[in-house]
Chain A
Amino acid sequence: MTVDALTPWPDTVEWRTVSPKLITVELIVRWSWTIILVAGLVVGLVLQGHWLWQLGIALVVLNAIWRSFVTVRAVRAWGYAERDQDLLVRHGLLVRRLSIVPYARMQFVDVTAGPLERAFGLATVQLHTAAAASDARIPGLPPAEASRLRDRLTTLGEDRAEGL
């Protein structure tokens, strides 16, 4: 039996993907940093003119190009699914992670949106449990979906709430 690490239990779980607009956001962030870094290196090149600076620029740009491809795939790899008792979140390409967080264990839900995310109409939902290691973060959700998810999580959490 073959199991795909990206989509466990494909027949019983309906996986949802995050918004493809997240790719744009991540690419903008990545390329902004690349441009800043390259600008610094160019200043060094102009001032000193050593060939190592050129090598550095080439490496940074190549890295950024390669990471851009990775980003596209990584965003497509994010997925979440709501089952009746727990939330499943999977992400990661190099290191693949799947988290199963029962609603009953939820302590609080964070909905955050940075300026760039807001500009593209995205938000991040993060579920916190009492265990610090729990890792249930879903980026790149449209605000409507984010608030729907938040409301659903809090309702379900309240239904099943307990001390610890």
Chain B
Amino acid sequence: MTAAGPPQPTAPPEAAVAEPRRRLHPLSPVLHGAKSIAVVVAALSWQTLSQVGLERFALVVLVIAVAVVVFSIFGWLTTGYQVVGRELRITDGVVWRRNRAIPLERLQAVELRRPLLAQLTGLAELRLEVIGGGKTEAPLAYLTVREAAALRQRLLALAGRTAQAQPTDQLETAAAPIAPALERALLRVRNRDLVVSQLLTPQAFFLPVGVAFVVLQFVMEGSWTFVGIASTVTAMAGVLLQPVRRVLQDWDFRLARDPEGRLVVRYGLLETRSQVVPLNRVQAVGATWPLLWRGQGWLHLRLDVAGYAGEGGGDSKRSDRLLPVGEFATARGLVWEVLPGVDLAALATSPPPRRARWLNPLALRSIGVGLTPEVLVTRWGLLTREMHLVPYARLQSVRVVQGPLQRRLGLATVYADTARGRSGQAKDRDLAEAYALAAELAVRARRARTPEPTP
């Protein structure tokens, strides 16, 4: 982490928690090896398979997988974790040893992931999101489900301590895991809706055209080799991957509030994820109305949590769903739940001045910005309408940027930066208004921060 952190409220009593360093589950190396098989097969591709033949191909894959397992065993031997005071300490690395201490007050969200193999073996991966890390810090792969759930409860309890500022006994919290039965269910997305929503995407519309093209090509050329078909199918799968992956990932989407008021998100078919986000860690909420979903009146809600910012792999890998698909009424209720006092139906925005049409000839009417008592609302997009809600308390900085064309027209854009990286953007406002807006945002952010210092 960076310097200039908050002054330690109370020095962690090291002696009080002299617990032993714990290992990951012994099956972890095997699971890592199995996981690598898929990667290796993908890397070698169909072309190689046809060139070297099935036996040698399988042999190569096997050898690499065994090598990974052996390497993972060394990794497993050196990996350990322990909770010391209000820190989680993780040791890992085979060649370069790494010892890291994660201050739990910086914990943003905790996720429990269970890929297919882990589900079969009753294991789970625990991922901690800490701000400032380029990627997910410390994925603990793998633990038994019970162990992971208990550790998660414990970490969250320790992390939430600053909020209440009640220094209870360390051991007491550790010994009292909270029963999950007390959760209050908020919503469950119907799988039928999910499938329909993913059929209503450009990729799905492209499918019949693609299939027709491929069939036509084969009929014309009359060459039906295995590798040819397999490659084509893989290519088609590549196009279709996103909707299919979304369906698999968002399958059986459930949302609940746990007894402490944290948000619990569970979803996934092949890989189940269960994510716990304290509400004060929500940096922003985004709503999207895709063009093809308009008929159903559906929308998609996104949750911005700091720490996921650096994770690559695009949209599908991140765990940022608040609502994969749902009706407006549902979304309205959810937004009220996550950002209390914010009514999605009553968010008025004002468009930029008319002269901004030179910069946005078509989409002028769809751009807008509005201030409510709690959040900054920005809106844009003609076909796919989007809305971004940033609570003032989460604002990191405010910027006013004026490009050369905007200067000609006397316009400027105001950015409201959050820790997630995606900024609220008030495009093409009148210059005087932009400065007034920036000043107002700075004042409101300060006011939102000061009354009760958010953890």
- Nearest residue in A to B105 (C-beta to C-beta)? A163
CA gap between A160 and B4 in the complex, in Å: 11
Cβ of B394: which chain A residues have Cβ within 8 Å of it? 164
Closest chain A residue to B420 by CB distance?
A131
Q: A106-B4, A161-B4, A161-B7 are in contact. Are A136 and B432 (CB under 8 A)?
A: no
| A1–B402 touching, CB < 8 Å | no
Pairwise interchain contact A98-B404, C-beta atoms closer than 8 A: no
Contacts of B412 in A (CB 8 A): 5, 96
Contact with B along A82-93 (1 / 0, CB 8 A): 000110000000
B402 contacts A132, C-beta separation under 8 Å = no
In the docked arrangement, what's the CA distance between A161 and B439, Å?
21
Query: Cβ of A134: which chain B residues have Cβ within 8 Å of it?
Result: 396-397, 399, 417
How far is the CB of B397 from the nearest CB of chain A, in Å? 4
**Which residues of A lie under 8 Å from residue B7 when comparing CB positions?**
158, 161
Report which residue of A94, A107, A128, A160 has the largest number of chain B beta carbons within 10 angstroms of its beta carbon. Answer: A107
Interchain CB contact (< 8 A) of B418 among A99, A131, A158: A131
* Cβ of B173 to closest chain A Cβ, rounded Å: 19
- A131 contacts which of B2, B6, B397, B402 (Cβ < 8 Å)? B397
Give complex CA distance A157, B399 in Å.
19
| Known A-B contacts A158-B4, A163-B105; A136 and B453 likewise in contact (beta carbons under 8 Å) | no
Residues of B within 8 A of A (CB): 2-7, 105-106, 108, 131-132, 162, 281, 306, 309, 394-404, 407, 412, 415, 417-421, 423, 431-432, 435, 438-439, 441-442, 445-446, 449, 453-455
Q: How far is the CA of A157 from the CA of B400 in the complex (A)?
A: 23
Contact call A5/B402, Cβ cutoff below 8 A: yes
Is A71 an interface residue when CB atoms closer than 8 A count as contact?
Answer: no
Contacts of A67 in B (CB 8 A): none
* Secondary structure of the B contact surface, majority rule: mixed
Complex Cα spacing A100 to B418, Å: 13
Q: Which residues of A contact B418 (CB under 8 A)?
A: 131
Chain A positions within 8 Å of B309 at CB level: 132
Known: A96-B412, A158-B4, A162-B449. 16 other contacts (CB 8 A): A9-B435, A95-B404, A96-B400, A100-B398, A105-B395, A106-B4, A130-B419, A132-B421, A133-B421, A133-B423, A135-B397, A135-B399, A161-B5, A162-B6, A163-B455, A164-B419
Q: Are B449 and A107 in contact (CB under 8 A)?
A: no
> Given contacts A130-B132, A130-B306, A132-B421, is CB(A86)–CB(B442) below 8 Å?
yes
Q: Which residues of B contact A135 (CB under 8 A)?
A: 397, 399
Give the residue name and chain of the A residue nearest to B394 (CB): A164
CB distance from B371 to the nearest CB of A (A): 16
Q: Is the CB of B453 within 8 A of A162?
A: yes
Known: A108-B3, A109-B4, A154-B4. A98 touches B455 (CB 8 A): no
**Interface size, chain A (Cβ < 8 Å):** 39
A131 touches B417 (CB 8 A): yes
Q: Given the complex, which residues of B lie within 8 Å of A129, measured CB to CB?
A: 396-397, 417, 419
From B132, B395, B401, B431, give the contact of A3 (CB < 8 A): B431
Closest B-chain residue to A106, C-beta based? B4
Nearest to B442 among chain A residues (CB) is A100
**Interfacial chain A residues near B399, Cβ < 8 Å:** 97-100, 133-135
State the CA gap A154–B4 with chains docked (Å): 7
**Contact across chains for A164 and B402 when beta carbons are under 8 A apart:** no
Contact pattern, A 1-19, Cβ under 8 Å of B = 1, otherwise 0: 1010100110000000000
* Beta-carbon nearest neighbor of A157 in chain B: B4
Task: List which A102-120 residues lie within 8 A (CB) of chain B.
Answer: 102, 104-109
What are 11 of the A-B contact pairs (CB < 8 Å)? Answer: A85-B446, A98-B400, A100-B439, A100-B442, A108-B3, A129-B419, A131-B419, A132-B309, A135-B399, A163-B106, A164-B306
A-side contacts of B400, CB under 8 Å: 8, 96-98
A101 at the interface (CB under 8 A from B): yes
Chain A residues with Cβ below 8 Å from B421 are: 131-133
B455 contacts A162, CB within 8 Å?
A: yes
Name which residue of chain A comes closest to B3, CB basis: A108
Tell whether A130 pairs with B396 under 8 Å between CB atoms, given A164-B106, A164-B131.
yes
Which residues in A have their C-beta under 8 angstroms from that of B420? 131
Which chain A residues in 43-100 approach chain B with CB under 8 Å?
Answer: 85-86, 94-100
Of chain B, the residue at the smallest CB distance from A96 is B402
Residues in B with CB closer than 8 Å to A104 are: 446, 449
- From residue B283, how far is it (CB to closest CB) to chain A in Å? 8
Q: Which residues of B contact A131 (CB under 8 A)?
A: 396-397, 417-421, 423
Interface string of A126-164 (1 = CB under 8 A from B): 001111111110000000000000000010011011111
